[in-house]
């Protein structure tokens, strides 16, 4: 799975952050605000601590059926709002594949071929049938209207694949993410579910079922392009495109979309501007400030880096090599030669560290056209 967005837990599966995905207009989705996952029924205490303390989780949207929820209820998390918003129920759509036991058969011993829906048809029904559209629209409105200054929202189904994947696809479409990137995010599920799908395939074969039945079980646990494309094709046929579907099919008001975009889209992947900080709130940032003196913080031409990114990528290590007197909590001056030393080491390291300092480079070069140094204000 994409290591920049994968969230590794002790028990929670298939979780990732939509943050840092690029949009078609060159902006980036805000980090640590939009989370998607499989169910939370077996969440460990360490998982809960991580969700609350690092991702500041404030809202969970459970997309599963009532039956699925009763069979495996989510772990309760104090201080986090829980909303059950099923996309469909068993009577409406038929029994979903998540109801199977570990043997690959239902608890009543039915043939798997009889209880697993044709996945492409399931996706079409989810996006076209009125009851499903109403529920999809409710889920998306819950995400769009969440108070993101308070923390993140997480939505999930059982596998974090079909219902969860559709909601993620619509959120990304609302944020103007290219369809190919939406598909890439959807298919990342297979890095988690691929081994599970293979296991069920083998178990069904061992139970004496024909290979075509085993394949249908396997495919039900995978994210496949044809499934999501079936939904997109149905949307194009019935509504003439995604924009019309979001407005008319899901009934999402344009002003709600614009407000969500303004809260969620940043101009850079790692840094934010002071204008963006004022909009999204918070003070846990390192401020990179132009000039020779530090007379006040939060200047309009500063760039800001969230404390979590600063720490996760071990940015202090790169600065301290060049500036031994770096002060995490105070004021640090970085001169031209020191900056070049920092940048060179980051470039050699590669990966996200290289990306981060490459993003800072134009700002630093502009600074050095007028000043001999810049300032880093600590937390």
Position 202 pLDDT exceeds 80: yes
Q: What is the pLDDT of residue 282?
A: 83
> What pLDDT band is residue 183 in, cutting at 50, 70 and 90?
very high
Helices then strands, each counted (H, E), the chain:
18, 13
* Joined tokens for residue 251: 């009934």
Whether the predicted pLDDT of 3 surpasses 70:
no
CA–CA distance, 319 with 305 (Å, rounded to integer): 14
pLDDT (0 to 100) of residue 259: 96
Residues 215 and 276 in one domain: no
d(CA 299, CA 212): 64
Sheet holding 34-37, edge to edge: 6-7, 15-17, 34-37, 152-156, 57-62, 81-84
Instruction: Give the whole-angstrom CA distance, residue 220 versus residue 217.
Output: 5
Asked if residue 1 is part of any domain, the answer here is: no
Residues 253 and 325 in one domain: no
pLDDT at 182: 98
Domain boundary among 199, 230, 265: 265
pLDDT class of 117 with cuts at 50, 70, 90: confident
Contacts of 281-287 with C-beta under 8 Å, sequence gap 24+, read 281/149, 282/149, 284/308, 284/379, 285/379, 286/310, 286/315, 286/376, 286/377, 286/378, 286/379, 287/375, 287/376, 287/377
Report the run of H or E that residue 237 belongs to, with start and end: helix 225-239
H-state helical runs in 109-224: 112-115, 119-128, 130-144, 163-174, 179-187, 190-206, 211-220
324 and 362: one domain? Answer: yes
234 in the same domain as 290: no
* Residue 319 domain flag: yes
Question: How many beta carbons lie within 10 A of that of residue 54, not counting itself?
Answer: 13
Confidence band of 102 (pLDDT split at 50, 70, 90): very low
> What's the structural domain count of the chain?
2
373-378 average pLDDT score: 96
CATH code, domain carrying 361:
3.40.1760
SS3 category, 145: coil
Q: Are residues 36 and 150 in the same domain?
A: yes
Tell me: do 212 and 341 sit in the same domain: no
Query: Which two structure tokens, joined as six digits, stand for 213?
Result: 């039945």
The token pair at 101 is 């036991």
Question: What residue numbers bound the domain in which 194 lies?
Answer: 6-265
* pLDDT tens profile 136-149: 999 999 999 999 98
Q: How sure is the predictor about 220, in pLDDT bands with cuts at 50, 70 and 90?
A: confident
CATH of the domain at 51: 3.90.190.10
- State the average pLDDT for the chain: 92
| Rounded mean pLDDT, 312-320 | 96
The arithmetic mean of pLDDT across residues 294-311, rounded, is 94
Written as six digits, the tokens of 271 are: 């840094």
Q: What is the 3-state secondary structure (H, E, C) of 37-93?
A: ECCCCCCCHHHHHHHHHCCCEEEEEECCCHHHHHHCCCCCCCCCEEEECCCCCHHHH
Is 371 a member of any domain?
A: yes
Q: Please tell me the distance from the alpha carbon of residue 118 to that of residue 96, in angstroms, as a whole number.
A: 10
Q: Which residue has the higher pLDDT, 62 or 118?
A: 62
Residue 109 has phi, psi (to 5 degrees) of 85, 20
What pLDDT is stored for residue 5 in this prediction?
A: 85
- Show the 3-state SS of 348-377: HHCHHHHHHHHHHHHHHHHHHHHCCEEEEE
Q: What is the pLDDT of residues 330-344, one digit of tens each?
A: 999 999 999 999 999
SS3 305: strand
What length is written for the chain?
A: 379
Q: Residue range 216-225: average pLDDT? A: 91
pLDDT for 114 equals 53
Query: Has residue 25 got a pLDDT over 90?
Result: yes
- pLDDT, residue 118, reads 83
157 and 296 share a domain? no
Do 236 and 279 lie in one domain? The reply is no
Phi, psi of 7, rounded to the nearest 5 degrees: -115, 115
Among candidate residues 218, 248, 265, the one where a domain is terminated? 265
**pLDDT at residue 93, rounded to an integer:** 54
Same domain, 217 and 344: no
More confident residue, 225 or 114: 225
Q: Are residues 294 and 237 located together in one domain of the fold?
A: no
**Contact call for residues 97 and 116 (beta carbons, < 8 A):** yes
DSSP-derived secondary structure letter, 22: B
Give the domain-ending residue among 236, 265, 294: 265
Q: Rounded to an integer, what distance in angstroms lies between the CA atom of residue 226 and that of residue 159?
A: 18
Residues 191, 275: one domain? no
**How many whole angstroms separate alpha carbon 358 and alpha carbon 345?**
12
Average pLDDT, stretch 37-45?
97
The pLDDT value recorded for residue 89 is 84
Q: Give the global pTM.
A: 0.89
Q: 217 with 97: CB under 8 angstroms?
A: yes
Q: Is 32 exposed, middle or buried (0-12, 13-18, 19+ CB in 10 A)?
A: buried
């Amino acid at each position: 799975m994409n290591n920049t967005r994968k969230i590794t837990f002790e028990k929670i599966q298939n979780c990732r952050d939509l943050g840092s995905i690029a949009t078609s207009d060159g902006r980036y989705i805000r980090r640590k605000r939009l989370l998607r996952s499989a169910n939370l029924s077996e969440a460990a205490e360490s998982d809960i601590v991580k969700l609350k303390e690092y991702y500041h989780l404030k809202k969970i949207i459970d997309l599963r059926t009532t039956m699925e929820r009763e069979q495996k209820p989510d772990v309760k998390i104090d201080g986090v709002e829980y909303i059950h918003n099923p996309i469909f129920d068993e009577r409406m759509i038929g029994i979903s594949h998540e109801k199977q036991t570990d043997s690959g058969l239902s608890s009543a011993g039915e043939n798997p071929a009889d209880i697993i829906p044709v996945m492409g048809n399931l996706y079409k029904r989810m996006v076209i049938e009125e009851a499903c559209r109403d529920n999809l629209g409710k889920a998306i409105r819950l995400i769009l209207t969440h108070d993101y200054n308070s923390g993140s929202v997480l939505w999930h189904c059982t596998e974090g694949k079909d219902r969860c994947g559709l909601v993620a696809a619509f959120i990304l479409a609302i944020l103007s993410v290219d369809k190919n990137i939406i598909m890439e995010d959807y298919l990342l599920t297979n890095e988690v579910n691929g081994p599970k799908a293979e296991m069920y395939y083998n178990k069904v074969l061992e139970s004496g079922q024909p290979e075509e039945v085993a394949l249908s079980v396997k495919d039900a646990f995978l994210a496949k392009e044809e499934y999501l494309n079936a939904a997109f094709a149905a949307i194009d046929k019935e509504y003439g495109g995604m924009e019309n579907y979001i407005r008319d099919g899901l009934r999402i008001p344009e002003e709600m979309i614009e407000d969500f975009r303004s809260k969620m889209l940043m101009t850079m992947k790692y840094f934010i501007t002071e204008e963006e900080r004022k909009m999204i709130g918070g003070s846990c940032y390192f401020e990179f400030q132009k000039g020779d003196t530090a007379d006040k913080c939060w200047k309009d031409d500063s760039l800001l880096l969230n404390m979590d990114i600063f720490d996760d990528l071990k940015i202090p290590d790169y600065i301290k090599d060049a500036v031994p007197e770096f002060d995490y909590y105070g004021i640090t001056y970085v001169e031209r030669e020191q900056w070049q030393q920092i940048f060179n080491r980051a470039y050699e390291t590669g990966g996200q560290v290289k990306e981060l300092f490459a993003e800072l480079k134009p700002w630093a070069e502009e600074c050095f056209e007028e000043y001999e140094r810049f300032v880093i204000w600590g937390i």
